Copies of this chain bind each other. A is one copy, B any other.
Amino acid sequence: MTLEISATAPYTYPNSQAAFARARKVIPSGIYGHQGPTEGVYVPQSAFPLFSARAEGSRFWDVDGNEYIDYMCGYGPNVLGYGDPDVEAAAAAQRQLEDVVTIPSSIMVDFAELLVDTVASADWAFFAKNGGDTTTLAVMTARAATRRKKIVFVNGFYHGVAPWTQKLDYPGVIEEDVAHNLYVDFNDLPALRTLFSEHRGEIAGLIAQPYMHGNFVDNELPAAGYWQEVRRLCDEYGVVLIIDDVRAGFRLDLAGSDHYFGFKADLVCFCKALANGYNVSALCGRESLKDTVSSLSYTGSYWMSAVPFAAGIATITKLRELDAPAQFVRLGTELTTGLVSAAADNGFTLVSSGAPALFYLRIADDNSLMLHQEWVAECVQRGIFLTSHHNHFLNAALTSADIGRTLEVAHEAFGIVRSNHPDLAPSV
């Protein structure tokens, strides 16, 4: 029965496993965080490569020589394609001059000017290194500007790993870290109105992603009029509106995801796609908060490195020239439509949610999520790097041919899963 289906021999990972055995001796967890294997949570470790050796364009190769069309893009930084030649040339030219020096390069000013020109709600830009550096700066700015303490979070949030943005039951977090955090559901305006009213004069800021691109749940776009009413409520209650655009930024709209959804944030946090993998993040914001940011004690060793600024200028310029967000809608729609069809052909219901540039997938026929993991594992072992319960990322080097190959493998993988579960009732 499987003879016709297993047209592709699945990958094996002996070199990845050997490197991981070394890693576990000298690195906590071997590989920590979202890039590491999380047995039983995301995917079976044995089905995935753990270490890469090379990357180019839309692809990477693991340490066993297996090739992948990559739909994770380094969890976001790869927006133009790995090793984009224009970005690499700009970065290399800057590196010939200087990178980290005692006083900054004036290219920092060029990059700030470009962001102010590109991002609709930006009157200024402040550069740092992690997305979390900018979310922390945004929250401190909101507190300094309002002299209030409370911060509203939207349930399902992720704003980095600083203690103030973790949960009380996470190791290393103490109750004082999260004592002034308030929580509300996304798209729930009545709840937000109640929260603002109950805490009138106490709320410094509201921090939110532009839409909910959380893990383990279908991604959720804002309801019509949602953001406009949030903006109005923030104005009414004097609350600083912070958009964490670290994940979606420059993939939906080069003018910012707040612009995409038709409102203006007070502060916008950028990172990942800002410089095609070169290490930089930026907080952008309105003129009215510029002096407050200036008053804070906030800096870091590498924050004025010149090479990432050069890479950032080249990245934003090329994203503009390509109109990359439009390209992502086109390719992402082609891909997700095709994946849903491939599922249906094999009697499965695949749900795609979120923006096409950051699509989230779920096989709806099994609430345990195990069926979904099984399908993803079959894809990965055949050179299509998807992940199980996290949104994906598109890059501009991806071609229609890549998508065609992806759909072939996805179809084959659905067939294998169907053959493994012949008794599971096909979805209608």
Contacts and interface: CB of A to CB of B under 8 A. Distances in A.
| Interface hub of A53, A74, A126, A305 (most chain B Cβ within 10 A) | A74
Given A32-B298, A82-B98, A139-B172, 19 more contacts: A23-B108, A28-B290, A28-B291, A29-B294, A31-B104, A33-B298, A33-B299, A33-B303, A48-B103, A49-B103, A52-B104, A55-B97, A55-B101, A136-B163, A160-B300, A161-B300, A171-B295, A171-B296, A176-B177
Contacts of A132: 300
A102 B75 contact: yes
14 contacts: A28-B124, A32-B294, A33-B299, A54-B97, A55-B99, A60-B102, A70-B101, A73-B102, A74-B102, A83-B95, A83-B98, A149-B176, A176-B176, A271-B301
Interface string A140-163: 110110000100000000001111
Nearest to A150: B174
Interface stretch (A109-117, A184-192, A368-376): A109-117
A355 interface: no
A218 to B, nearest CB: 22
B129 A129 contact: yes
A416 interface: no
Given A27-B108, A277-B100, A162 B179 contact: no
A103 to B, nearest CB: 5
A246 interface: yes
Nearest to A141: B172
A129 B130 contact: yes
B51 A98 contact: no
| Interface hub of A88, A130, A141, A246 (most chain B Cβ within 10 A) | A130
A332 interface: no
Nearest to A103: B52
B162 A174 contact: no
Contact of A294 (B25, B28, B70, B292): B28
Contacts of A62: 103
A80 interface: no
A297 B166 contact: yes
How many identical subunits does the complex contain?
A: 2
A72 interface: yes
Interface residues of A, number: 106
A78 B101 CA distance: 8
Interface of A: 19, 22-23, 25-29, 31-35, 48-55, 60, 62-63, 70, 72-78, 82-83, 88, 95, 97-106, 108-109, 112-113, 115-116, 123-126, 129-133, 136, 139-141, 143-144, 149, 160-164, 166, 170-174, 176-177, 179-180, 246, 271-272, 277, 279, 290-305, 308, 385
Given A35-B102, A172-B144, A305-B279, A293 B28 contact: yes
10 A-B pairs with least C-beta separation: A33-B299, A140-B172, A144-B171, A28-B293, A144-B172, A55-B98, A72-B102, A26-B112, A100-B277, A176-B176
A122 to B, nearest CB: 9
A279 to B, nearest CB: 5
B171 A180 contact: no
Contact of A136 (B54, B82, B162, B294): B162
A78 B144 CA distance: 34
Contact of A301 (B103, B131, B136, B299): B131
A66 to B, nearest CB: 11
Contacts of A103: 31, 35, 48-52, 60, 62
Nearest to A170: B297
A2 to B, nearest CB: 28
A105 B301 contact: no
Contact of A102 (B23, B70, B272): B70
